[in-house]
Amino acid sequence: EKAVNLKKDLAEMQEWMTQAEEEYLEKDFEYKSPEELENAVEEMKRAKEDVLQKEVRVKILKDNIKMLATKVPSSGQDLATELNVVLENYQLLCNRIRGKCHTLEEVWSCWIELLQYLDLETAWLNNLEERVRMTENLPDKLDAVNDALESLESVLRHPADNRTQIRELGQTLIDGGILDDIISEKLEAFNARYEELSHLAVSRQIALEQQLQTMRETDHMLQVLQENLADLDRQLTSYLTDRIDAFQMPQEAQ
């Protein structure tokens, strides 16, 4: 009777493992939304816990069969053979579920990381858009134009590392068929805005550089003119002081 009960327990254990394999490993999952992916991650975590909890039952079966083998060698030997098969299948199931759980957790982490990088770059784009807006309707003063140009250039020096991460993370998930529609839409919107604002910012940068160069040249010309006028003023003053007749002056002074 003991052997019959143990044989029944082994069969039930094998049946449970077959059902677990069908439910957790052979079912086709489609992750088209973050909610579906998150639910799959949680389900695989529960599956891993469920399978690992059966380790106690497997150990009890193993101990009981060993005990029976010492008392009834013939029955114990047959059950030991069946036990080895169950132990091998159980270990395989544990490894596969652990592997799938780890993979899904990595995928979820990849998705969260992608969102974080998108948030960072979106904040940078917002800042860039604000700096570009601030270059409009500037007062016609050299300092104002120079400050606006330096402010814009400081934002444009933003490193490209985050955009590289966004591209690689997005492509990894899309290649795996995970959230591909949502990610493609997000990346398309981000890239379009990035290209538009980058071109606009560079155009404004070039325009400000040209405006600044023109203003500096104008300032230099005015400075030279002022220096020439000052020299002429000093020369004319000396003529007046010396009471020199206008017709005695050089032609340019007249």
Q: Determine, yes or no, domain membership for 44.
A: yes
In which domain, by residue range, is 130 found?
1-211
Domain count, the chain: 1
Q: Tell whether pTM > 0.85.
A: no
Q: Determine, yes or no, domain membership for 225.
A: no
Mean pLDDT across the chain:
88
Where does the chain have alpha helices with state H? 2-24, 34-71, 73-134, 142-156, 161-175, 180-241
pLDDT tens per residue, range 18-75 = 998 888 887 666 788 999 999 999 999 999 999 888 888 888 888 887 777 677 666 6
| 183 within 8 A of 166, measured Cβ to Cβ | no
Q: Determine, yes or no, domain membership for 81.
A: yes
What single-letter DSSP state applies at residue 247?
G
**Residue-wise over 136-164: b if at least 16 C-beta within 10 A, else e?**
eeeeeeeeebeebbeebeebeeeeeebbe
Q: How far apart are CA 55 and CA 94, in angstroms?
A: 10
Q: How far apart are CA 110 and CA 169, in angstroms?
A: 7
What single-letter DSSP state applies at residue 246?
G
Q: Determine, yes or no, domain membership for 242.
A: no
DSSP reduced 3-state for 252:
coil
| 44 within 8 A of 97, measured Cβ to Cβ | yes
Taking Cα atoms as reference points, which of 156, 124, 149 lies closest to residue 135?
A: 149
DSSP reduced 3-state for 160:
coil
Question: HSE on the CB side for 19, CA within 13 Å?
Answer: 8
Taking Cα atoms as reference points, which of 249, 224, 226, 227 lies closest to residue 238?
A: 249
Q: Determine, yes or no, domain membership for 222.
A: no
Of residues 84 and 76, more confidently modeled: 84
DSSP reduced 3-state for 240:
helix
The domain that holds 125 is classified in CATH as 1.20.58.60
Q: How far apart are CA 191 and CA 177, in angstroms?
A: 20
pLDDT tens per residue, range 132-181 = 999 988 888 999 999 999 999 999 999 889 999 999 999 999 988 889 89
Write down the pLDDT at residue 190: 96
Q: How far apart are CA 109 and CA 120, in angstroms?
A: 17
Q: Determine, yes or no, domain membership for 245.
A: no
Q: Determine, yes or no, domain membership for 237.
A: no
Q: How far apart are CA 12 and CA 21, in angstroms?
A: 14
